[in-house]
Homo-oligomer: A and B are copies of this chain.
């Protein structure tokens, strides 16, 4: 049998001469003649065991047989390492355990990839197939620990602010709107189906109607979509809703929650309040509603400065009310014509026809469009823009949307290429005043940008009648380092406003009842003003754990094709199971697992 009274990283120089009992995995074995050294590993880290035949020849004999990943129990005396043998990289590098008893708790076949190697080159497929071994790797285990810690930190924070955690159902109802549902056949009611929730949106609003006041949940959500790199079929949301509050309350709450989270999880002090930009400003300055503010390169409107050139592209653009915008790269002395051509090629991927540039060197102003300007015009332009030596101005000209999209991608690429992103820099940004409606091009009518329960901007209620397409919404997103990490809105609680919105959306009573069902009825029983927000918790954890791979922050993730390589799921099931559910498969396609 075994005993364990310490974990591998608990022991320090203070414990010297103590007898201790440790359990763990053999991380590495080194034979130095008759002396055998084992790095013993557990969840917490490593500790060196020494097997010396003069202390116990029995233990030393057993140690000879040990292989990587065997599980052992060892008893021994904590000892100071010999001078010069300390390992400063190791938490317990000053000490070692002189083992006087060892027992093998379980053996291991050779693992398909090494565990001790932190910077693994093993393919992700193989790691996911053997995820239970992958989890032993420090790199992954740290992320699992971070996730656990961040969950608890958030829960405690919200609890301290009087939020109740309420679990809403997983067996829900299929809704005709939104993304594709995962369905669950009902056995008791043939032909009827539950659906897995895409989000707890309706439930959280019902909780407000139910007087819950302040609700949160770390909610499992499901979308049967074709997956992108940072998506999973099941994902986690920090779902928050509150009554009798305003968006400033939500901003405050979230800022303090994140301040607490980053302090406790990363020991980083983030600055509050966060910067705010309206949707329009963000699009003007960064061409994106989720700009990365870790670097500058704000867009400049160049129309006024450029209107006297003879470049027909610019002149046409001005005539057609298109955009002429650009941004400045500092310290661009290395940006050769060749490099700038490459950026032009890159920009063309986003339908931009060309990319102009103006470079201010210590000698002169260079430009690939210099022939369309007088020297004086170029000098005035660089002066107006307060360009400094070695600044390079990139200029795009096209329809507004194309310019915005191309410059946004270009700005991000330049930042990456030129290492403009500092480590451990966290730039938060609220985007507010989103549009309420967009035009549904196919049907020539208005549709909601978010959902039809999003409140119009409080200052723009009057414009609903006169100029609805330009009405802003009481909707907001939170952006961190170029990722949208949260989004939310004030909900409509006034039935007059709600009816006006339905009217503008051209929905009949039947449409309303079919699409929103009992929820409209629920709203009529005394709905408090309420608003909320939902954080993409997996993405937030990617940032906390400094990884670009969403699968790193999920214990048992699925692939981009929604496969669980370890469990080999989904799978064929028995005909009896289907019969009992009153369904049949129209097609059967066996999955080939490698």
Binding site for B on A (CB under 8 A): 1-2, 4, 7, 23, 25, 41-44, 69-71, 73, 105-109, 111, 130-136, 141, 144-145, 147-148, 151-152, 155-156, 159, 164-174, 176, 180-196, 202-203, 206-207, 209-214, 220, 222, 224, 233-234, 236, 243-245, 458, 493-495, 517-518, 522, 524-529, 554-556, 558, 561-562, 564, 566-574, 577-591
CB-based nearest B residue for A537: B167
A564-B135 in contact (CB<8A): no
Max count, chain B CB within 10 A of own CB: residue among A180, A494, A568, A585: A585
Whole-angstrom distance between the alpha carbons of A202 and B132 in the complex? 11
Q: Of B148, B529, B570, B583, which one neighbours A173 at CB under 8 angstroms? A: B570
A192 to chain B, nearest CB (A): 4
Whole-angstrom distance between the alpha carbons of A278 and B523 in the complex? 55
Whole-angstrom distance between the alpha carbons of A495 and B526 in the complex? 62
B171-A135 in contact (CB<8A): no
CB-based nearest B residue for A209: B132
Contact A525 B212, CB 8 Å, known A184-B184, A584-B586? no
Whole-angstrom distance between the alpha carbons of A111 and B213 in the complex? 19
Whole-angstrom distance between the alpha carbons of A580 and B566 in the complex? 26
A568-B517 in contact (CB<8A): yes
Task: List B contacts of A525 (CB < 8 A).
Answer: 69, 108-109, 111, 130, 132-133
10 closest Cβ pairs, A-B complex? A135-B210, A191-B588, A108-B526, A173-B569, A192-B570, A190-B587, A186-B570, A191-B585, A43-B213, A23-B244
Give the number of copies in the complex.
2
Whole-angstrom distance between the alpha carbons of A167 and B525 in the complex? 37
Whole-angstrom distance between the alpha carbons of A143 and B183 in the complex? 30
Task: List B contacts of A220 (CB < 8 A).
Answer: 167, 170, 220
B106-A526 in contact (CB<8A): yes
Task: List B contacts of A168 (CB < 8 A).
Answer: 555-556
Task: List B contacts of A234 (CB < 8 A).
Answer: 169-171
A159 to chain B, nearest CB (A): 5
Whole-angstrom distance between the alpha carbons of A562 and B188 in the complex? 8
A33 to chain B, nearest CB (A): 27
Contact A183 B181, CB 8 Å, known A151-B165, A171-B569? no
A588 to chain B, nearest CB (A): 3
A241 to chain B, nearest CB (A): 13
A47 to chain B, nearest CB (A): 14
25 chain-A/chain-B pairs, Cβ below 8 angstroms: A41-B211, A43-B212, A73-B244, A107-B495, A108-B524, A132-B206, A135-B211, A144-B164, A145-B164, A152-B165, A173-B569, A176-B574, A180-B187, A182-B194, A183-B573, A183-B581, A189-B589, A190-B585, A192-B589, A193-B573, A194-B569, A518-B567, A583-B584, A584-B584, A584-B586
A495 to chain B, nearest CB (A): 7
Q: Told that A135-B211, A152-B165 touch, could you supply 9 new A-B pairs with CB distance under 8 A?
A: A23-B243, A25-B528, A71-B527, A134-B210, A171-B570, A172-B569, A182-B194, A192-B571, A579-B586
Whole-angstrom distance between the alpha carbons of A375 and B192 in the complex? 69
CB-based nearest B residue for A140: B210
Whole-angstrom distance between the alpha carbons of A111 and B131 in the complex? 53
Task: List B contacts of A224 (CB < 8 A).
Answer: 187
B210-A133 in contact (CB<8A): yes
Whole-angstrom distance between the alpha carbons of A353 and B495 in the complex? 67
Task: List B contacts of A526 (CB < 8 A).
Answer: 25, 69-71, 106-108
Contact A191 B572, CB 8 Å, known A42-B211, A196-B170, A584-B586? yes
Contact A167 B555, CB 8 Å, known A69-B526, A131-B210, A211-B135? yes
A105-B189 in contact (CB<8A): no
Whole-angstrom distance between the alpha carbons of A164 and B151 in the complex? 10
Whole-angstrom distance between the alpha carbons of A589 and B141 in the complex? 48
Whole-angstrom distance between the alpha carbons of A569 and B170 in the complex? 12
Task: List B contacts of A134 (CB < 8 A).
Answer: 210
B152-A159 in contact (CB<8A): yes
CB-based nearest B residue for A522: B132
CB-based nearest B residue for A43: B213
CB-based nearest B residue for A200: B556
A184 to chain B, nearest CB (A): 5
Max count, chain B CB within 10 A of own CB: residue among A189, A220, A561: A189
A181-B577 in contact (CB<8A): yes
B211-A586 in contact (CB<8A): no
Contact A166 B148, CB 8 Å, known A23-B528, A174-B571, A586-B582? yes
